[in-house]
Amino acid sequence: MTDMASIKTVLKQQRIETPSWGYGNSGTRFHTFAAPGAARSVWEKLEDAGEVHRLTGIAPSVALHIPWDKPSDGDWGGVSSFAAQHNVQIGAINPNVFQGELYKLGSIAHPDKAVRLEAVTHILECIDVMKLTGSKDLSLWFADGTNYAGQDDFRSRKHRVRDSLERVYTALPDGKRMLLEYKLFEPGFYFTDLSDWGVALSHCQALGDKAQVLMDLGHHAQTVNIEAIVAHLLDEQRLGGFHFNARRYADDDLIVGTTNPLELFCIFVELVGAANDPALSSHTTQVAYMIDQSHNIEPKLEAMVQSVVNCQEAYAKALLVDFERLRDAQSSGDVLAAHRTLMDAFKTDVRGLLEEVRVEMGAPADPIAAHRESGYLERVTATRGTFEGGGGFPT
Ligand code: PSV
Ligand code: MN
């Protein structure tokens, strides 16, 4: 796409979902630092998400983690209306089947049927939360895995996972999806039950169309070509969504686009390429773009605004790729012309274009500067103080 008016129109339709847990204090296993003004409750997280949406214009939904975000009175309707008052809606619902003592040996793959049932029951309750909040996506990540060779039987675990997922899938109403997230390692260090995209994909294909794969950028082995996985999942029409973040070493949960901007750009190039393909364009419209980060030392709100802006920049650059020139170079075997065509777009400074897009959408031209000048952090710090405790992940 090279026509600027069309590029602007498409950029205005971009949506990035922010995670409630990114607004609260979070830490490493060494320490959780207390950030002035960090959100302490679901209400404060929704307020902050509303502010990120006001600043960026493209972050109108918030993913919730249950039970971290469960209101004390259990009134989910109240959560939805509070969100609406702050111009955001409830996005993906993330069950938590990894923090209870009972989950030491797993949740849906646990050898004990009673534990598996408890995990499934919690996920079914999360489907009820979806119904009450209007959420469309059930976002599933399992910490299930093992630490030692021989600890448990791989195939039995696979059957337990499949059986549990089938119970959940059956309860999923039409119009709602199950997003299945995979992760190479951690907390299991020998094996994880949903270790990679292939395992997640095979479960999704067996379950049905409402089951889609969720890719978290931090959940692969070093050097894995993530954009190629994106292409494959798109082509299979099974890419449900992303958890955006960045890493250098493991699942670092740093701000997306900071350590490897080229990778993020290449991911968006695959998405734009698929959106231009009539066979895949409708599939690409349902991909959920979510941030999943742990802001340990950085100010939470500014980190979130920066994350959204980084996704916006990567997308804008991907939209600038001259696909006609690229396909010509590819089909004629002109390796370096093809590469340069991509890099031309990657090296383009899109900041001016995005300022125009934001202003036309009624958002500030520079969301970071606007945030710093707004006094929002000072205001919320005056009421929230500096809370010594969790709210994010891990705590
Ligand atoms: C696990 O590392 C993960 O990426 C999953 O998406 C969780 O839902 C999220 O972190 C927060 O615990
Ligand atoms: Mn994730």
pLDDT tens digit string along 108-166?
999 999 999 999 999 999 999 999 999 999 999 999 999 999 999 999 999 999 999 99
Q: Report the alpha-carbon distance of residue 253 to residue 89 in Å, rounded.
A: 24
For residue 301, give the CATH number of its domain. 3.20.20.150
Residues with CB under 5 Å of ion ligand 2 are 216, 243, 292
- Residue with CA at minimum distance from ligand 1 atom 3: 141
Strands 211-216 and 239-244: parallel
- The answer to whether position 347 is within a domain reads no
For residue range 307-366, list pLDDT tens digits in order. Answer: 999 999 999 999 999 999 999 999 999 999 999 999 999 999 999 999 999 999 999 999
Position 393 pLDDT exceeds 90: no
Q: How many domains does the chain have?
A: 1
- Residue with CA at minimum distance from ligand 1 atom 12: 393
Position 20 pLDDT exceeds 60: yes
For residue range 51-79, list pLDDT tens digits in order. Answer: 999 999 999 999 999 999 999 999 999 99
292 Cα to the center of ligand 1, angstroms: 7
- The answer to whether position 156 is within a domain reads yes
Of the pLDDT bands very low, low, confident and very high (cuts 50, 70, 90), residue 7 is very high
For residue range 169-213, list pLDDT tens digits in order. Answer: 999 999 999 999 999 999 999 999 999 999 999 999 999 999 999
End-to-end CA distance of the chain: 44
For residue range 257-306, list pLDDT tens digits in order. Answer: 999 999 999 999 999 999 999 999 999 999 999 999 999 999 999 999 99
User: How many other CB atoms are there within 10 angstroms of residue 348's CB atom?
Assistant: 14
- The answer to whether position 251 is within a domain reads yes
Of the pLDDT bands very low, low, confident and very high (cuts 50, 70, 90), residue 395 is very low
- The answer to whether position 187 is within a domain reads yes
Structure tokens belonging to residue 297: 């030392």
Q: What is the mean pLDDT of residues 96-113?
A: 97
- Residue with CA at minimum distance from ligand 1 atom 1: 141
Domain that holds residue 288: 11-316+367-384
- The percentage of the chain sitting over the pLDDT mark of 70, rounded to a whole number, equals 98
- The answer to whether position 361 is within a domain reads no
245 Cα to the center of ligand 2, angstroms: 9
pTM above 0.85, yes or no: yes
Q: Pick 92 or 387 by higher pLDDT.
A: 92
- The answer to whether position 59 is within a domain reads yes
The DSSP line for 341-382 is HHHHHHTS--HHHHHHHHHHHTS-SSHHHHHHHH-HHHHHHH
3 Cα to the center of ligand 2, angstroms: 35
- The answer to whether position 161 is within a domain reads yes
Q: Where are the beta strands (DSSP E) in the chain?
A: 17-19, 61-66, 89-95, 137-140, 145-146, 177-181, 191-192, 211-216, 239-244, 288-291
pLDDT at 1: 59
- The answer to whether position 31 is within a domain reads yes
Q: What residues pair up with 179 in beta bridges, in sequence order?
A: 139, 212
Q: Are 352 and 34 in contact (CB under 8 A)?
A: no
Q: Which of 58, 52, 49, 50 is nearest to 12 (CA)?
A: 58
288: left (phi over 0), alpha (psi -120 to 50) or beta: beta
pLDDT at 389: 73
3-state helix, strand, coil in the chain (%, to 5): 50, 15, 40
